[in-house]
Amino acid sequence: MQNKIWLKAYAYTTLIMFIAALVFSIKLHAEVNSENKNMKEMPLPFDPEQSMKYLKEICDIGTRISGSEGIIKQRILIKKHFEALGAKVIEQEFKAIQKSTGRPTPMVNMIITWHPTARERVILCSHFDTRPFADQETDPKKRKGTFISANDGASGVALLMEMGRHMKNLNCNIGVDFVFFDGEEFVFDPDDEYFFGSKHFAREARKNTQAIKYRSAVLLDMVAGKDAKFPIEQNSWWKAGPIVREVWSTANQLKIESFKLNEFSRVAVEDDHTALNNGGIPAIDIIDFDYKHWHKLSDTPEQCSGETMAGVAKVLGSWIQRQH
């Protein structure tokens, strides 16, 4: 028994030391990279107030459940916005059958393409649907309330809508796709399937590798919370560590304090980046998984901050310009 206790203690200590070593390697990478800033890099002129206007406009639609009138309205809004900015907008239609419903539901991923002729590309992505009900509410009556999902759903879209206004002025050496996944939140029971949109996108991308090579992807999930913190998400580190080092090093250099260089997430998060990694696209997740309004009716624009979105966007703006 004593030997078992000793072995557990040894294993725990070894794990902590290993994680500490990983964190140190990231810090060292950040210090080295701080001397190598691309002089042609343009700071992203992100407008926090405008991003909040977009977020509120999305939330004013109401619920945006896959296959619903609400998500159709949101697609129209997104398409009109990005086409006015000169981007190419592709709607990737498919159908999904959820276990608990047994019925096919029409879904649509939206792909916003910048520099469409470039074969080598990176992805900035987010889901844009909402959960059918607020499953984290303990009061069953509240679960039936209108769940607008401001941070968990609208924030990634709003951030990229504002970022899109400046994409043509950034010094990008590769193609960039903004991708909005449908069907991430289309879950009614615990045993239901997740990530319909990102799974479909990854399958389609595998069929088209001669025309498009996706080098990496950054997923945005709950990126607008007030006082948000973005530790390194565990699965991102294990599955796409080099991208984590690049992004968090960039945040360290830009002094974006919401990115926590010395911390890992409390849990290994399963999210749309899981489907992308499994499909052969190296992907990481920028996520505030400690957001206290997650899947609750209180996830409203009042809990969100344009400044938080601006910090994330500035990191992404610099990161994509450093891709060669």
- Averaged pLDDT, groups of 10, the chain, 324 residues long: 39 48 54 50 95 98 98 98 98 98 97 96 98 92 91 98 97 97 96 97 94 97 98 98 97 97 95 98 97 97 98 98 94
Amino acid at 268: A
Write the CB contacts of 87 (distance below 8 Å, at least 6 apart in sequence). 112, 113, 114, 164, 167, 178
Domains and CATH numbers, the chain: 37-321 (3.40.630.10)
Nearest CA-CA partner of 317 in 140, 163, 104: 163
Q: Under a CB-based contact definition with an 8 Å cutoff, are residues 179 and 85 in contact?
A: no
CA 174/CA 176 separation, integer angstroms: 7
pLDDT number for residue 143 = 87
pLDDT number for residue 11 = 45
pLDDT number for residue 324 = 86
Q: Under a CB-based contact definition with an 8 Å cutoff, are residues 178 and 170 in contact?
A: no
Q: Under a CB-based contact definition with an 8 Å cutoff, are residues 314 and 247 in contact?
A: no
β 104-114/120-127 pair status: unpaired
pLDDT number for residue 230 = 98
Going from the C-alpha of 293 to that of each of 219, 286, 315, the distances in angstroms are 20, 17, 25
State phi, psi for 221 to the nearest 5 degrees.
-140, 120
Give the distance from CA 155 to its chain's centroid. 9
CA 114/CA 80 separation, integer angstroms: 15
State phi, psi for 106 to the nearest 5 degrees.
-70, 135
Going from the C-alpha of 227 to that of each of 158, 223, 258, 287, the distances in angstroms are 18, 10, 8, 13
pLDDT number for residue 40 = 77
SS3 (DSSP) at 208: coil
- In eight-state DSSP terms, residue 15 is H
Nearest CA-CA partner of 157 in 77, 271, 247, 69: 77
Nearest CA-CA partner of 177 in 109, 232, 223, 233: 109
CA 280/CA 282 separation, integer angstroms: 6
